[in-house]
């Protein structure tokens, strides 16, 4: 009789240890981002990180599964440029701000696709890894220079599971806006623009720290 009780107690203990050893998945992440932003447009055609400004904001991520996520972010960034430094000279158009420093606010959503499953890696059979690169694309809204416009963010990043519920990451994203008014230089050659032609864009490079929320409990698989 005592042997039966001992076996039962042992099974319970081992079951509890096994339960805690399982890799928990979390539905959401909440965190903050900090980095730099630079602008590309009529005052900067192709120079990356020219006149970079401070950027920062908040992120909220919904983890669909270990390979896919939806990231919502609210960002602020300064943008700056000087068209007078360019080799080609614009016509003497009035009401244009050739040397400027402004701010943009961005509210967006990006779909993220991890190269492999992201997690603590404690459940080896799932193939999850603490370090996971990802690509991203989405849709956002930009407010800057008294203008509201849509933008298309495209970029990449890498995330690392520092602890079970703590994540750090690097995120790079180019935001292609549908406006030519963010920099204060609007159509200086009087050439009609298209969908993304002759428009302003800005790039945000940031690091982030986020915390997992709401564990996703799964039913036991007895197969």
Model confidence band, residue 177 (pLDDT cutoffs 50, 70, 90): very high
Residue 203 predicted with pLDDT over 50: yes
Its pTM stands at 0.82
Question: Cα separation of 157 and 77, whole Å?
Answer: 19
Residue 137 · residue 175 · CB < 8 Å: no
- Domain hosting 118: range is 23-216
Domain count, the chain: 1
Q: Assess if residue 139 is contained within a domain.
A: yes
The domain spanning residue 130 has which CATH number?
2.40.160.20
Q: Assess if residue 9 is contained within a domain.
A: no
Q: Which two tokens stand for residue 78?
A: 């300064």
Residue 156 · residue 165 · CB < 8 Å: no
Q: Assess if residue 126 is contained within a domain.
A: yes
Look at residue 13 in the predicted model and tell me its pLDDT. 45
Q: Assess if residue 4 is contained within a domain.
A: no
Q: Assess if residue 48 is contained within a domain.
A: yes
Q: Assess if residue 44 is contained within a domain.
A: yes
Q: Assess if residue 171 is contained within a domain.
A: yes
Q: How many residues does the chain have?
A: 223
Model confidence band, residue 5 (pLDDT cutoffs 50, 70, 90): low
Is 157 in a helix, a strand, or coil? strand
Question: Cα separation of 108 and 60, whole Å?
Answer: 11
- Tell me which DSSP letter residue 109 carries: E
Look at residue 110 in the predicted model and tell me its pLDDT. 98
Q: Assess if residue 13 is contained within a domain.
A: no
């Amino acid at each position: 009789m005592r042997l039966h009780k001992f076996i039962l107690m042992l099974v319970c203990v081992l079951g509890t240890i096994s339960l805690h050893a399982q890799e928990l998945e979390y539905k959401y992440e909440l965190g903050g981002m900090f980095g730099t932003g630079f602008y590309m447009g009529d005052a900067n055609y192709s120079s990356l990180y020219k006149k970079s400004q401070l950027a920062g904001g908040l992120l909220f991520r919904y983890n669909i599964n270990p390979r896919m996520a939806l990231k919502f972010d609210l960002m602020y960034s300064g943008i700056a440029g000087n068209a007078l430094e360019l080799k080609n000279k614009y016509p003497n158009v009035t009401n244009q701000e050739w040397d400027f420093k402004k701010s943009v606010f961005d509210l967006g959503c990006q779909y993220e696709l991890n190269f492999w499953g992201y997690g603590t890696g404690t459940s080896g059979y799932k193939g999850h890894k603490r370090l996971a690169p990802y690509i991203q694309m989405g849709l956002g809204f930009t407010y800057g220079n008294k203008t509201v416009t849509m933008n298309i963010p495209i970029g990449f990043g890498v995330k690392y599971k520092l602890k079970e519920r703590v994540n750090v990451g690097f995120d790079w994203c180019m935001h292609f806006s549908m406006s030519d008014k963010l920099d204060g230089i609007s159509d200086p050659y009087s050439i009609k623009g298209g969908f993304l032609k002759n428009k302003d864009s800005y790039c945000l490079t940031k690091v982030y720290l986020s915390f997992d929320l709401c564990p996703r409990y799964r039913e036991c698989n007895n197969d």
